[in-house]
């Protein structure tokens, strides 16, 4: 069965946030990430794949040509398969043995996706995003996670409300005037690592909820660190 004009129009519509919200669906592309999706508990609505796709799917599977796949893909170089999956409402797990990562107004899709992938690497289960963060089902976010998005608990909420409801958690805020993270004892249990916006850092209204400020010391001349890189360094310090 080839790709119909109706299918093409519908799949392409999911490249827009308003339509992902309207239909409660999102796109997953590439063999590695689609494999992760199919092994997860996310519901898969349909799969569009070329004859070279090595995977299998018991459900709505449409074989498409490379040209047809390119016509519905968000990638410059599509990789054999694209899937449509249902979004799901998530909640944090109650395993707080490793820090919860809290993200304040992270707006770059690549950064959010990389942070999700980083959290997965270090075995962190929970991410709390402010409502002003980029949408987690943005195709660029999904792509950057390389499948980690299907293994973590990621919620979007007011960070102020979250901190008020979880006063027992130790909040570490990444700030330029913080203590050297390499010489500070960081406690993983029942803690939160709060990371701020790429340009302006943590919103001042969140300062009252920070128990300890931490920073990555600067040894060279770069003006700043990418927030995803900074998160990776701090995650490594928490688990070492």
pLDDT tens for 90-107 read 899 888 889 999 999 999
Q: Please give the pLDDT value at position 236.
A: 97
Structure tokens at 30: 């590439």
Is 84 a residue whose pLDDT tops 70? yes
Mean pLDDT of 78-94: 93
Single out the residue in 43, 64, 86 at which a domain terminates: 86
Q: Are strands 61-63 and 100-103 parallel, antiparallel or unpaired?
A: unpaired
Residue, of 97 and 136, whose pLDDT is higher: 136
Q: What share of the chain is helix, strand, coil (3-state, %, to 5)?
A: 35, 20, 45
Is 1 a residue whose pLDDT tops 70? no
Q: Are residues 221 and 168 in the same domain?
A: yes
Single out the residue in 61, 86, 111 at which a domain terminates: 86
Span 17-69, pLDDT tens digits: 999 999 999 999 999 999 999 999 999 999 999 999 999 899 999 999 999 99
Out of 42-46, 91-95, 133-137, 192-196, least confident range? 91-95
Q: Please give the pLDDT value at position 96.
A: 86
Q: Please give the pLDDT value at position 225.
A: 92
Q: Please give the pLDDT value at position 174.
A: 97
Confidence of residue 224 (pLDDT cuts 50, 70, 90): confident
Tally Cβ neighbours within 10 Å of residue 43.
12
74: domain range? 5-86
Q: Are residues 46 and 156 in the same domain?
A: no
Q: Are residues 114 and 222 in the same domain?
A: yes
Q: Are residues 19 and 121 in the same domain?
A: no
Find, among 20, 12, 152, the residue nearest to 85 by Cα: 20
Find, among 5, 9, 20, the residue nearest to 140 by Cα: 20
Mean pLDDT of 74-80: 92
Q: Are residues 107 and 161 in the same domain?
A: yes
CB-CB contact of 179 with 215 (8 Å) = yes
Sheet holding 153-156, edge to edge: 153-156, 126-129, 100-103, 191-195, 170-180, 212-215
Element (H, E) at 102: strand 100-103
Q: Are residues 224 and 166 in the same domain?
A: yes
Question: In degrees rounded to 5, what are phi and psi of residue 81?
Answer: -155, 145
Q: What percent of the chain has pLDDT over 70?
A: 100
Mean pLDDT of 100-121: 98
- Taking the C-alpha atoms of residue 45 and residue 82, their distance in angstroms, rounded to an integer, is 11
Helix runs in the chain, H state only:
5-13, 17-23, 31-38, 66-72, 109-121, 139-145, 159-165, 227-239
Structure tokens at 111: 């950064």
Q: Are residues 135 and 59 in the same domain?
A: no
Look up the CATH number of the domain holding residue 119: 3.40.1280.10
């Amino acid at each position: 069965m080839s790709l119909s004009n109706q299918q093409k129009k519908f799949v392409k519509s999911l490249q827009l946030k308003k339509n992902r919200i309207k239909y409660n669906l999102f796109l997953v592309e590439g063999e590695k990430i689609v494999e992760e999706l199919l092994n997860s508990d996310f519901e898969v609505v349909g799969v569009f794949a070329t004859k070279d796709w090595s995977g299998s799917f018991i459900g709505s599977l449409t074989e498409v040509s490379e040209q047809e796949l390119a016509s519905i893909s968000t990638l410059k170089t599509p990789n054999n398969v694209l899937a449509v999956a249902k979004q799901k409402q998530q909640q944090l797990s109650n395993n707080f043995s490793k820090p919860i990562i809290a993200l304040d107004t992270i707006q770059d899709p690549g950064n959010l996706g990389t942070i999700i992938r980083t959290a997965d690497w270090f075995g962190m289960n929970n991410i709390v995003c402010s409502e002003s963060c980029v949408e987690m089902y943005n195709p660029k976010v999904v792509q950057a996670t390389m499948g980690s998005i299907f293994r973590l608990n990621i919620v979007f909420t007011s960070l102020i409300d979250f901190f008020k409801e979880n006063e027992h958690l130790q909040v570490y805020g990444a700030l330029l005037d913080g203590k050297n993270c390499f010489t500070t004892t960081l406690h993983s249990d029942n803690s939160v690592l709060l990371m701020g916006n790429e340009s302006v850092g943590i919103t001042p209204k969140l300062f009252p909820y920070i128990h300890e400020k931490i920073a990555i010391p600067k040894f060279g001349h770069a003006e700043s660190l990418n927030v995803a890189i900074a998160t990776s360094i701090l995650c490594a310090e928490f688990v070492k």
